[in-house]
Structure 1
Amino acid sequence: MKPFLTFILATLLAATAHADSLQTLDAFLREVSSGRAGFTQVVTSPPRSGETRPRTKTSSGRFEFLRPDRFRFEYARPFPQTIVADGQTLWLHDVDLNQVTARSQKAVLGSTPAALVAAGGNLQSLTSAFDLKAAPDADGLQWVEARPKATDGQLRQVRVGLRGRQLAVLDIEDGLGQRSVITFTDWQSGPGLNAADFRFVPPPGADVIRP
């Protein structure tokens, strides 16, 4: 095949692959109403003054969600912590401090990575908060870039990595240069969750803070 024709063919195939990643995200939002997975999160922070290397912190646990707008991150290592969205309230439980922070879910989740996972409906449901762009396939995954439309938040960009109808990676960058990569494993679609599974009751004696 002539070089020019090869270039044209490669360009067309790349464009098709990029478009397919948006279609895959749309299908994930429309067809996968609930899910459960293990996760590992690696947070990389820019080096402080006098440091030569970035600082990293690794944590792991279990994740589950139910559309619309319910999810749970259960951190097991290195410190136990629970984050639950029950549809109305976002709860954060620090087990070691026996402290619970409760915030209005609607007020804090509009342009966050969690909205990309737990939002209901379809791709259109995200466009009020995010500019979405298909990105080249890499590492065996299809990728979508999401940038928040609001310019006053801390989030800079989220890259969503998909393996078919499964969420594989969330690659999150904030405005201070911190990067958080959440990798999901042992994915289960439709594990039979219901709203009661996301009900959170502060444990006895916990200090409950409502900012």
Structure 2
Amino acid sequence: MPKLIQTAIFAACALALSGTAFAGALDQFRSFATTTKTARGQFTQRQVKAVQGSPKVSNAATGTFAFARPGRFVWTYLKPYEQVMMADGEKLYLYDKDLNQVTVKNLDASTLGSSPAAILFGSNDLEKNFVLKDAGSRDGMEWLDATPRSNDSTFERLSIGLKDGVPRAMELRDSFGQLSLISFDKFDKNPALPADEFKFVPPKGADVFQQ
């Protein structure tokens, strides 16, 4: 192969790779939203509260998650307390193992659309419910800011850190000034999920409350 052509091919490949590696958060997220139909993984979550003017970080909560678009997900806290949040596309189930209690809510488009779950687990029509914009680079990730369009949202702002086209972190600030920090320790794209993955069966003897 002539050296000039070989050099041109190498240069084209390098340009393509660099475009992928340095794509902005908004472009990465749009690609993720359109190409990721299912996912599962593990997360770590911490809360940050202001105590006497100083930030206080809670102990880590850890767990697992899975989702299938549109609107089906399960978010499970394993430590320090076992709790489950699951949506089957029609209902939202909140289960507290210590209380042996299940709360069931109707899951409509407006409820999911204005919630943090919609960012990763909802439909692809995110810009209908959120104002999305690039927020620069930090901690080795490209960051995306998502501001709810609705004043009814309990969250003032959400930020998502992406790397290699996959969410690696989230920051959620609520209307009370509390900040939730979530890191995704594992994120598998498009795994085959069993049909009953998002079917919630209340544990035996659990109190069930409909809202």
TM over 0.5: yes
Change (3 A) 1:96 1:151: same
Whole-angstrom CA distance in 2 between matches of 1:60 and 1:21: 25
Q: Runs of 5+ in structure 1 lacking a partner?
A: 1-16
Aligned length: 190
Cα contact 2:48–2:178 (8 A) shared by 1: yes
SS of 1:54's equivalent in the other structure is: strand
Deviations 1:72-105 (A, max 9, x none): 1111100011111111111010001100001112
2:29 to 10, 25, 28: 25
SS of 1:151's equivalent in the other structure is: coil
**Mean Cα displacement is larger for which, 150-159 or 91-100?**
150-159
1:91 to 86, 90, 93: 93
- Structure ID, larger Rg: 2
Change (3 A) 1:152 1:187: closer
- The alignment's C-alpha RMSD in Å is 1.9
CA drift of 1:185 comes to 1.1
CA drift of 1:55 comes to 5.3
1:158 aligns with 2:162: no
Q: Runs of 5+ in structure 2 lacking a partner?
A: 1-20
TM-score by length of 2: 0.84
Cα contact 1:156–1:174 (8 A) shared by 2: yes
CA drift of 1:19 comes to 7.1
CA drift of 1:53 comes to 5.1
- Off by >4 Å, runs of 4+ in structure 1: 50-53
CA drift of 1:195 comes to 4.5
Whole-angstrom CA distance in 2 between matches of 1:36 and 1:62: 8
Change (3 A) 1:19 1:132: farther
The aligned runs of 1:44-193 (5 Å cut-off) are: 44-47=48-51, 54=56, 56-106=58-108, 107-121=110-124, 125-193=125-193
Change (3 A) 1:54 1:186: closer
Cα contact 1:70–1:84 (8 A) shared by 2: yes
Whole-angstrom CA distance in 2 between matches of 1:24 and 1:151: 27
SS of 2:204's equivalent in the other structure is: coil
1:36 aligns with 2:30: no
Identity %: 35
